[in-house]
Amino acid sequence: MKTQLFFTVLASILIASLIPCGSAIAWYHPPSSRDIEPIVSTDWLADNSSDVVILDIRSAGDYEAGHIPGSINEPFIVPFSAWITMRDGLLLEVPDDEDLFDTIGSLGITPDSWIVIVTAPNPGEPPFYGLANGTRVAATLIYAGVANVAILDGGYPQWVDGYGTTTEVPDVDPVTYEGTVNKGMFVSAYYVRRHLWRADIIDARDADVYFGVTIEPFADKAGHIPGAASLPAPWIWDPQGDEIYTFKDAAILGEMASGVLRGKRYWRPKKIVYCGVGGYASSWWFVLTQVLGYHNLKFYDGSAQEWVRYYDMVPFQWD
């Protein structure tokens, strides 16, 4: 209990330290390749539902019990689903391009489609796991060449709070998906090792894991990758009650990121984000690249689970 209280207080101090007093971050902007905002409201979706593919990634049972009218379902399920696979024992790995393209095409999605991803906290899990599933699918679609992928702010619980649902399943016209993958987006352990101390490395795991107090079951060494800075993914969202979690304002997210990256959006050659197995890392990858417009951010998909197989972690050293 004392440890939990300590890290609650510590998290508050760290968040405050990342937001400079009296400063304002005005430079953030989504990439110019986007035609829709990366985070959209339920009001926006209600007004534009006929122009987008509403992709519900909740379980099939949850979808069948009720969903946003017009939405289609392709669940995100660990360890295997259309969105992730397990490779060499590593969780949350990107599927082979051929399999991924088959999935995307089966949903009627083209590279020019506008996608709005709908997710929700999963019962019995920390709420941020379900939220990170949404950013993971978004990152995967962007990797596959779909530029206009957005997240529904507040997810399905926010929609239910203001709009109606249905159990009617819409028809889908499959297509042959022909996209261009971003091969440079995901990087290996070797790549990260070569760029230690030459890149800004972001650890998106919970602070207690970063500091080495908690050891996760899939990465049996305490601490973090040498030189990494802590920027926990759960800090991205604010609780609104009734299982509703919304993204912090972009200005706040921008100042948090700037506090860790010291404002280096352009001139620092490399930036890398990782987490435990590749879930939380997707959340900061999405926010940094799609909301804030950071450049040259690499996604270490193997994350801590792979890193500890070959290299050591370092617990945080207090001065």
pLDDT score at 178: 97
Ranges of each domain in the chain: 39-162, 183-310
- Are 115 and 124 in contact by the 8 Å Cβ rule? The answer is no
- Are 91 and 277 in contact by the 8 Å Cβ rule? The answer is yes
Q: To 10 degrees, the CA torsion angle through 243, 287, 104, 133?
A: -30
pLDDT score at 270: 86
Phi, psi of 101 (to 5 degrees): -65, -40
- Matching fold, domains 39-162 and 183-310: yes
pLDDT score at 214: 97
Neighbours of 195 (CB within 10 A): 18
Pairing of strands 199-203, 270-274: parallel
Q: Where are the alpha helices (DSSP H) in the chain?
A: 2-18, 42-48, 60-65, 97-106, 127-143, 155-162, 189-194, 207-211, 250-261, 280-286, 303-310
**CATH assignment of 183-310, among 3.50.30.50, 3.20.19.10, 3.40.250.10, 3.10.105.10:** 3.40.250.10
Each of the 319 residues of the chain gets a pLDDT tens digit; together they read: 444 444 444 444 454 444 444 344 445 677 777 999 999 999 999 999 999 999 999 999 999 999 999 999 999 999 999 999 999 999 999 999 999 999 999 999 999 999 999 999 999 999 999 999 999 999 999 999 999 999 999 999 999 999 999 999 999 999 999 999 999 999 999 999 999 988 999 999 999 999 999 999 999 999 999 999 999 999 999 999 889 999 999 999 999 998 888 755 555 568 999 999 999 999 999 999 999 999 889 999 999 999 999 999 999 876 6
pLDDT score at 265: 54
Buried b (16+ CB within 10 A) or exposed e, 3-24: eeeebeeebeebbeebeeeeee
Q: Which two tokens stand for residue 158?
A: 């926010």
CATH class given for the domain over 39-162: alpha beta
Q: Tell me if the pTM is above 0.85.
A: yes
- Are 188 and 302 in contact by the 8 Å Cβ rule? The answer is yes
- Are 179 and 101 in contact by the 8 Å Cβ rule? The answer is yes
